[in-house]
Chains A and B, each alone.
Chain A
């Protein structure tokens, strides 16, 4: 916030350089966004490493959480893409854990939300789509492009339908990234606005403080909703990744 009485809901998304770095004319500074990405990765890896290090037959609480997350993603992937899809398990699991932990880290006050920047989510989505295209071409060759040719379409309509299908395919990374980014951005802005109401109303005196109870209650409820959204968006991202990978493994038979 610029000053205590002026609430700026966008300020939380500002990127600050921590270490200024320029290599070959490119700005590769280490920013607060990079810091939180590193924190996310370190936290996830450390948690999974320590949770699974004991390898007890009867799992402890930590190990149980790690096993549950494994089972969750493994079942999701097997349901969506079949047995062959399991070779993508490391990718899907890493994406899910990264998005989930980054979303949840963003729920701490004063923490930066990595996934609220579209460039981050877009890179994740492009990683998925390039994997789909690359694996599809490697595995099926040109047969992969049958994905864009629905069967049973009259010849005259075919160019039109293929163009629409191609655009629909290209819009996948956009919708995948926009959904995650927009959810996180909108949620955090709403939270900030309602919390800002509390501050500015209570500055009006005793009557304002009584009135500030309403937005405070709203902010508490929204915090709960945001935790739900954090998990749900990570889940949706992983589910859609599985579905897209299914297209690469079995393109239209």
Chain B
């Protein structure tokens, strides 16, 4: 019975997506399609969902409309985000500022750390040399990260897929 009910809930879901793909159809026609799809499993023996479907058409209609709204909102979301990214990309100036500040910060912090280590440990040129090179590497890493060529902090190649659903909420 549980599976039958799940099936019933699944039916209109497909229909909603179908409607989404084919474009706008009047609400009455959508209901017809829903019935048509649902009558398919009826012939294989599952009569449960059909009866339930008929019981409350208004509720079902509302459900379907809400799903339609959610689907269309979801398709709109990435477009808006892309546009925002495009706006910062179009200026170009902003992008240049961002990348150069990332790079300079990496080199600067490396040099600063090296200088401080030299000052406290008295290892005069070596700390600066080593940490300047490390800082250079960190600067390049920062730039690659901010253009999205390298995985973010803490996620290596293995954990990348682990983290995905978390970020998408």
Contact = CB atoms under 8 A, between A and B. Distances in A.
B149 interface: no
B153 A152 contact: no
B105 A178 contact: yes
Nearest to B113: A167
A217 interface: no
Contacts of A172: 105
Interface string B137-169: 111011001000001111111110011001101
B106 A253 contact: no
Interface in B94-112: 94, 97-98, 101-102, 104-106, 108-110
A82 B155 contact: no
Given A82-B166, A174-B109, A163 B155 contact: no
A253 B162 contact: yes
Contact of A151 (B88, B101, B134, B159): B159
A79 B77 CA distance: 11
Contacts of B138: 164-165, 167-168, 171
A151 B156 CA distance: 5
A182 B97 contact: yes
B135 interface: yes
Nearest to A252: B154
A152 B158 contact: yes
A183 B142 contact: no
Nearest to A243: B152
A175 B145 CA distance: 13
B22 interface: no
Q: Which of A151, A163, A171, A253 has the most CB of B within 10 A?
A: A171
Interface string A212-229: 000000000000010011
Nearest to B151: A150
Interface residues of B, number: 38
Contacts of A153: 156
Given A178-B105, A253-B163, A79 B169 contact: yes
B75 interface: no
Contacts of A151: 156-159
A167 B159 contact: no
B13 to A, nearest CB: 25
B25 interface: no
Contacts of B101: 175, 178-179, 182
10 contacts: A150-B154, A150-B156, A151-B156, A151-B158, A152-B157, A171-B106, A171-B109, A171-B135, A183-B94, A250-B166
Interface of B: 87-88, 91, 94, 97-98, 101-102, 104-106, 108-110, 113, 131, 134-135, 137-139, 141-142, 145, 151-159, 162-163, 166-167, 169
Given A171-B109, A171-B139, 13 more contacts: A147-B154, A150-B154, A165-B138, A167-B138, A168-B106, A169-B153, A170-B113, A178-B104, A183-B94, A183-B97, A236-B94, A247-B154, A251-B154
Which are the 5 A-B pairs with shortest beta-carbon distances? A252-B154, A151-B156, A175-B105, A174-B105, A167-B138
Interface of A: 78-80, 82-83, 146-148, 150-153, 160, 163-165, 167-172, 174-175, 178-179, 182-183, 225, 228-229, 232, 236, 243, 246-247, 250-253
